[in-house]
Structure 1
Amino acid sequence: MRSSFTSCSGCRVAEAPRGILAGIRVLDLSRMLSGPYCTMMLADHGAEVIKIEGPEGDTSRSNGPWRADDAAHDWAGYFVSLNRGKKSLVLDLKQEEAKATLRGLVRSSHVVVENFRPGVMERLGLGYEELAKLNPALVYAAIRGFGDPRSGESPYAAWPSYDVVAQAMGGLMSMTGADRDHPMKTGPGIGDVFAGMMLAFAIVAALRHAEQTGQGQFVDIAMYDAMLSLCERLVYLYDMEGRVAEPAGNGHPLLAPFGLFPAADGWVSIGVVDDGFWRELARIMERPDLADDPRLAGKSGRRAHAAEVNEAVSTWTRSRSKAELTALLGGRLPFGPVNDARDIFADPHVAARGMIAEVPHAEPGRKAWRVAANPVRFSLTPAIPASTPPRLGEHNPVFAPAKPVT
């Protein structure tokens, strides 16, 4: 990792990386996945994220999984992964003293993030309009299942929502699976994660506006809306062709060969769009008849004969191992083996890019945790090392009376 330097009497002294968001203070009232993923993105790049937790703590602290050496179940993987590098302050916001502590922090903060249902913070007297009176430059960011009434009141505004609901209603499940009779959710919690990513972008954009004008604002993401944005193909297919997008299995509705193909010991992905890649694939397969077939010339031709094209490629791939296919196709056309966790941990790409981060354990001498690293890289601002997630209320002595404010 490269270090930054500052001069002192002619010498150069290494400074610890601070991150591109150093100096930004975020009050994180969010729970579970969507909000914590957003604030993790900010903390990973140097923002000071103060996690405001109720007396019971974020629900994810008890979600597991736990390592074999954690008999007390103090450190759930769900929590460790999303809350590295943050601070924890326990405040029972039903109590006036706790509210006063939060209001005091708002005056010195740049961002508030929460993912409650609409009206919760207003009933506590801590809604955007009240907090903006204390700090007009405040960026107040909210993730809700169906958005906030301030930016367009959904008929579902009061409905609770989780990832599975957002994936279902936002169109993702209708496009995923083997066929229209078997819709399928994606493995990762993309309804939460994508909304969190979008909110992190929105926060940085609003911060830039606040720096230029001194004026903060309310920023709103609906999980439903985020999923619809992700499923952009669904919209233009219906608009242009009147076609309802359906699951394409492991293929593509517009391209062939494009998708997953069987290997002797698993699966590989192949994506052919350009004619040049199609001819190269036919050459490697030793099938000049495919390259010379006028019916298969161009994307539209291969699309019209997708079943024939995909079957020819599948017949060839299924007789070879993933390693053999990698040797034949890797670097010659868009190709990749389907990796599981074992493959990813052993992949030299992952090592070269530093995509498995080590998070120091809270207890000295104990083995570090390994989590997915932040994928964003800056040429001038080096990444900061992942730091230990907080114990519940660990930073109360810093930001509030030593005893948790309840």
Structure 2
Amino acid sequence: MTFPDLPLAGLRIVDFSRVLAGPFCTALLGDLGADIIKIEPPGGDDYRAVGPFADGESGLFAAMNRNKRSMVIDLKSAAGRELAQTLCASADAVIENFRPGVADKLGIGYAQLSERNPALVYASVSGFGQTGPESHRPAYDIILQAMCGLMDATGSPDGSPTLIGESVSDVVSGLFASWGVLAALLSREKTGKGTHVDVSMFDATLSLSATLVARFAATGVAPQRVGNRHPSSAPFGAYRAEDGCYVVAVLNNKLFDTFSNAIGEPQLASDPRYASDASRCLHEAELRACIEAWSSQRSVAEVNRILGAAGVPVAPIRNVQQALESEQAAVRSLLTEVPGSASREGRAQRLPSQPVKFSAYGANRVSVAPQLGEHTTEILHALGLDAARIAELRMQGALGRAPADRAQSPLPNVSNTETDHA
């Protein structure tokens, strides 16, 4: 499959990953035209059985596996391992998110595949990386948020550590993995050599926590929870209005003077307690009381109108639906409605895409996630295998059960701990 009007057209990537971090990485690459061949075990990616569901299909699986072709290979069979190795021999990149050592056992480790394909870029996404005392621990997003200090830094000062409302460790690991793959592919253009890209969710989550890490590096003290406000600036956070909450971001004295005038309290700008960003932060509670005495008598819409007209950075607090259904999101094409495939009886789906725009290329590729094994025969034919050889591989167990058999039994909602995704 080629997409000549996209920047990654011509790249072929074999994706052994499942659930979130690895599939998110390859979804980003597929958005930009790379041909993503998703290898699934006979039971399918675990995410196929995780809700929410629309028309019997997982919305999470649909989003993370857009723009891919699905091929079933049973890596527990010798014929399946040999087939996977053959497929990877002509690939530009391979992505996997097994625990360290599992890919080697399955015959698809970097050392095994790079021997046949020295130019191969091979990315491993795991909980703690390929080295270190924690490297063999299983990991999920909540584990990483807990272990990297993200939960401890989130929430009210007098409350409990709080889980961020998104699987940020998984997502940022997939993002860094896509960045690492592209950097390695660029290097290969110069050297002709592939490399092993080692992406740790632990490393990625701490790298995401850029300001937390910077504060600790400068002071030697772990940042503390401050709730819905900035730890070192004020007014910079969430405030109450009559019918909800809003946020403002005031980061310098000039803007504070503008803000004070906008809320009808010009004397605040000359009050010694609020003479600098640092002193305003020290007296944040008193400043907050003054601000909310003004805004609690006004609606969120009115607060935004007044402060926005004055040039103060301000915004209502929206939910995800409101954000995605906004005019701005529509203009930026953050969700694309795509027609369903014939196997889905034409049902349309709304799917996300990567957010970067390129002036020299067309719109991102957005197509529905594949059915389990939907492209197995197509991919095998492209490898030069005829119907007789494909039938032989199926008899040898390389391709799992026949598609018709799979359709008659539900996907198991279980995980194989030996091949757990992280």
TM norm structure 1: 0.90
Q: Distance in 1 between matches of 2:378 and 2:5?
A: 20
- 2:48 is aligned with 1:61: yes
Task: Give how far 1:211 is off.
Answer: 1.3
- Amino acid across the alignment from 2:92: H
Q: How big is each residue's C-alpha offset from its partner over 1:247-297, in whole Å with a ceiling of 9 and x where there is no partner?
A: 111011111111111222222111110222211111110111112223312
Task: Give how far 1:380 is off.
Answer: 1.1
What's the secondary structure of 1:179's corresponding residue? coil
- 2:347 is aligned with 1:367: yes
Match for residue 138 of structure 1 among 114, 117, 120:
120
1:102 maps to 84
Mapping of residues 296-335 of structure 1, within 5 Å? 296-330=274-308, 332-335=311-314
Change (3 A) 1:294 1:179: closer
2:232 maps to 254
5+ long unaligned stretches in structure 2: 381-389, 401-422
Mapping of residues 234-273 of structure 1, within 5 Å? 234-273=212-251
Change (3 A) 1:345 1:238: closer
Task: Give how far 1:38 is off.
Answer: 0.6
Task: Give how far 1:365 is off.
Answer: 5.7
- Amino acid across the alignment from 2:399: V
Q: How big is each residue's C-alpha offset from its partner over 1:184-213, in whole Å with a ceiling of 9 and x where there is no partner?
A: 111110010011101111110000001111
Match for residue 83 of structure 1 among 40, 65, 80:
65
Whether the 8 Å contact between 1:174 and 1:180 is mirrored in structure 2 is no
1:336 maps to 315
Task: Give how far 1:341 is off.
Answer: 3.1
Q: Distance in 2 between matches of 1:318 and 1:22?
A: 54
Match for residue 389 of structure 1 among 343, 361, 369:
369
2:387 maps to none
5+ long unaligned stretches in structure 1: 1-14
- Amino acid across the alignment from 1:92: D
Whether the 8 Å contact between 2:341 and 2:347 is mirrored in structure 1 is no
Q: Distance in 2 between matches of 1:24 and 1:333?
A: 46
Q: How big is each residue's C-alpha offset from its partner over 1:151-187, in whole Å with a ceiling of 9 and x where there is no partner?
A: xx22111110000001111111111011265001111
2:147 maps to 169
Change (3 A) 1:142 1:373: same
What's the secondary structure of 1:142's corresponding residue? strand
Whether the 8 Å contact between 2:28 and 2:353 is mirrored in structure 1 is no
RMSD, matched Cα: 1.8
Whether the 8 Å contact between 1:142 and 1:221 is mirrored in structure 2 is yes
2:358 maps to 378
What's the secondary structure of 1:97's corresponding residue? helix
Report how many residues are paired. Answer: 383
Whether the 8 Å contact between 2:349 and 2:368 is mirrored in structure 1 is no
- Amino acid across the alignment from 2:335: I
Q: Distance in 2 between matches of 1:170 and 1:273?
A: 28
- 2:176 is aligned with 1:198: yes
Q: Distance in 2 between matches of 1:372 and 1:285?
A: 39
Q: Distance in 2 between matches of 1:96 and 1:365?
A: 37
Match for residue 405 of structure 1 among 379, 389, 399:
399
- Amino acid across the alignment from 1:221: V
- 2:265 is aligned with 1:287: yes
TM norm structure 2: 0.87
Task: Give how far 1:375 is off.
Answer: 1.1
Moved more, 260-269 or 168-177: 260-269
Q: Distance in 2 between matches of 1:285 and 1:108?
A: 65
Q: Distance in 2 between matches of 1:335 and 1:92?
A: 54
